[in-house]
Chain A
Amino acid sequence: MIAEAGLAALWLAAALALLQFGSGVAALRGEGSPLAALVRPVAVVQGALALLAFAALLLVFAQTDLSVKLVALNSHSAKPMMYKIAGAWGNHEGSMLLWVTVMGLAGSFVALVERRLPERTMIATLLGQAFVSLGFYAFLLFASNPFERLNPVPPEGQGLNPLLQDPGLAFHPPTLYLGYVGLSIAFSFAVGALITREVGPAFARAMRPWVLGAWIFLTLGITAGSYWAYYELGWGGWWFWDPVENASLMPWLAATALLHSCSVLAARNALRAWTVMLGVVAFSMSMVGTFLVRSGILTSVHAFAVDPKRGTFILALLAIYIGGALTLFAFRAATVTEGERFAVTSRESALVFNNVMLTGTLGIVLMGTLYPLVTEAFGERVSVGPPYFNPMSAVFVVPMLLVLTVGPLLRWRRDQLARVRLPMLIAAGVALTGLAVAISLAPGKVLPIIGLALAPAVAVASLLPLRGRKLRQVKLPLWGMVIAHFGIAVALLGMAAEGAFTTERLVALRVGESTPVGPWQIRLARIEPVAGPNWTALEATLEASYAGAAPIVTHPQARMFWAPVQNTAESALLTRWNGQLYTVLGDKADGGANGGRWQLRLWWKPLVTLIWIGGALIALGGLLALLGRVASDLRRLVASDKIAFRRQRQGR
């Protein structure tokens, strides 16, 4: 019954999306159409119904109702409850339902609270949102129904991929989806503004909090995903330029550019057409990512669907939405009126530079991700990895970070570099010192050296906007900017230090033997079997002592899951303030003979944790900026309500 209720809710939600779209169109065509009043309430109910359908899916997964095909294929009664629930979105159908749910909820949220823009623009925005939702509802209902029943009912489910049975999984996809799909709001705002031709500071101010919100979730999702890959895959790396990772990075790059161009539009009424364009591009990148991940073109733990029908369906949706929005843009961009002018040395220019460099990086990542698909169409199979992505993205990121050291100090409209000479000298001094230190510590490693030199300079420069201000009076959005930029520097330092100073050891040890790795001495104390709820494992006990200190015990495991049958290496991490010791237990080295040596892979990674701390700081900066913006909007709203109320009382 629950599954049928969920399916019914899904159909109803789709019907309401159609109603929302239709009444929106009617309202825009006929001025004063009664249907205009329908758009907002319908959007709210549509979101609620999508949420209901998602709740139904969670419930069937929690109960392990094996008569539902999706549950039978992806769950197992012996799985811990957390992974039963997380399993609801650890598969193609469930994750697409999560997608439309987030999209519906984002639409309801906008319909409920957004009152700053002219009603016509709002109707056009909600119309756009309904139009995009409709495609994904169709995709769910016709090509990936999550509530399909199974007859006969199997006695047991097939289980969930063990790699996905991890606390990280419970939070990583929903977070990322909130970001991906949150960008649909920016897309809809851009479409709405193009339809009604109202692109201006008010539009940017209304769109900014939504973009910020989506961007915060994307930042958190990418950071968490990187950490998950780092400790769960057991390969010691934190970013693999895997197409699925790129799929999350591309919307982030576009959204970051959009945030910055929004602030130019909001503050200075410039970069109008460009901001609208980025609004379209950001969500398009989310959809391209979904297409890459969900179409089965790529094979990875993320690629659930290998059904060509689904791939074609998503490709068609992509063509309609991206093509449609770009066509609308092409026709309307020329009529978007000219923005304000600015001088070459100005805050605007610095932000334009930021946008161009971010777009360039986005182009590099996009081309590198799509290239293997293109060559495969011509019969040549290639893969593109770090030797391409690292230096090529650095070509754009390094100049951007250099400008980041001065940009936030410049004034709007027109400024002189002479005015910021002192901060520039400070940043240059720090960078040169960093460069000298880095070259002596890690000779020959070009990219890590650049990172080590830039990170302290960006860190110092990011704090300079606070210079000469009373800290108590600094507004939240400024704190947000400072902390986010500081977070960039922190993450960069982590990446560069990991690249420059990591030491790796691959050894075969007998029980009782030890080996050095970096400043650590590791002793293999014993190997024992252990058992978990749905796995058994061999667990190594390693005694690790840092620079001669008392040993700390750490336990890497080789796990064997039985539903489905799969072996995974469970790495063990020892975190110190200055880095992490990363240990992985491999196979028996001699196949039983020779007294039993065990393979161990050990890394000492100095400052590696800064990568994710930096990511969290960037998200925190976004959160502070969001809080600041929302608070000032609320104050303005309360003030205007008061004025309206007084006028009413005075009988005007």
Chain B
Amino acid sequence: MTAIKAKHQRLILALIALAAILAAGALAAWALRSQASYFYLPADLKANPPEVGRAVRLGGMVKAGSVARAADGVTVQFVVDDGKAEVPVRFKGIVPDLFKEGSGVVAEGRLDAGGQFVADNLLAKHDEKYVPREMKDMTAARAAVRDTQ
């Protein structure tokens, strides 16, 4: 090893570091393309559905009169609506406090083979100050839904 000159060692180290960082970047870029979870409105989801089982997020209004609880007491079934299309959603868990009919919701989960959206997690408006990012843009959708009802 002593045969390697100082200049060379420096160069080799710099190249190794560069290669590792480029590898990290390439790996991240590839993984992000396949793993990032995209945001859909019901109309997008109907028009251009993601593959079954792929993690996505669905945002819209909880349709009035659509919330139903299953007999086990912990599964809820409801419909997410953006004024143009409707998607049935099933969620097993404790719903957030501000989850109610006619207000906004973002469901994290996936489509199953039957066209139903299975949510692992629901995000509702937290309080007046903290609103999920996607929900801020949904005021327009909400107005549209209200007009139709």
Contact = CB atoms under 8 A, between A and B. Distances in A.
A164 to B, nearest CB: 11
A72 to B, nearest CB: 15
B47 interface: no
Contact of B24 (A396, A597, A601): A396
A507 B128 CA distance: 30
Interface in B100-116: 108
Interface centre among A274, A381, A597 (most CB of B within 10 A): A381
A368 interface: yes
B74 A589 contact: yes
Given A364-B28, A367-B32, A564 B39 contact: no
B21 A360 contact: yes
A338 B6 CA distance: 7
Interface of B: prevailing SS: mixed
Interface residues of B, number: 47
B29 interface: yes
Interface in B1-45: 1-2, 4, 6-7, 9-10, 13, 16-17, 20-21, 23-25, 27-29, 31-32, 35-39
B4 A383 contact: no
B127 A161 contact: yes
A387 to B, nearest CB: 5
Nearest to B57: A383
B21 A382 contact: no
Given A274-B17, A299-B131, A359-B17, A364 B73 contact: no
Contacts of A372: 36
A327 interface: no
B55 A385 contact: yes
A584 interface: yes
A474 B134 CA distance: 56
A591 interface: yes
Interface in A244-289: 271, 274
Given A368-B32, A586-B94, A589-B73, A299 B17 contact: no
A161 B126 CA distance: 10
A63 interface: no
A309 to B, nearest CB: 18
A363 B23 CA distance: 10
Contact of B127 (A363, A380, A566): A566
A339 B38 CA distance: 48
A368 B28 contact: yes
A301 B24 contact: no
Interface string A381-418: 11111011001100110000000000000000010000
Contact of A359 (B21, B37, B72, B129): B21
Contacts of B74: 506-508, 586, 589, 599
Contact of A506 (B13, B25, B92, B129): B92
B54 to A, nearest CB: 10
A166 interface: no
A633 interface: no
A584 B94 contact: yes
Contacts of B57: 383
A218 interface: no
Contacts of A395: 27
A567 interface: yes
Nearest to B132: A299
B36 A591 contact: no
B32 A384 contact: yes
A115 B74 CA distance: 65
Contacts of A506: 74, 92-94
Contacts of A344: 1
14 contacts: A274-B13, A303-B130, A356-B16, A360-B24, A363-B25, A364-B27, A367-B25, A368-B28, A368-B32, A382-B39, A507-B73, A564-B128, A565-B127, A586-B74
Given A380-B38, A566-B126, 15 more contacts: A299-B133, A299-B136, A360-B24, A363-B24, A367-B32, A371-B32, A372-B36, A382-B36, A388-B32, A392-B31, A414-B1, A507-B72, A508-B72, A508-B74, A589-B69
- In the A-B complex, list the 9 residue pairs whose CB atoms are closest, starting with the nearest: A508-B73, A589-B73, A586-B94, A363-B24, A381-B39, A388-B35, A360-B24, A567-B97, A367-B28
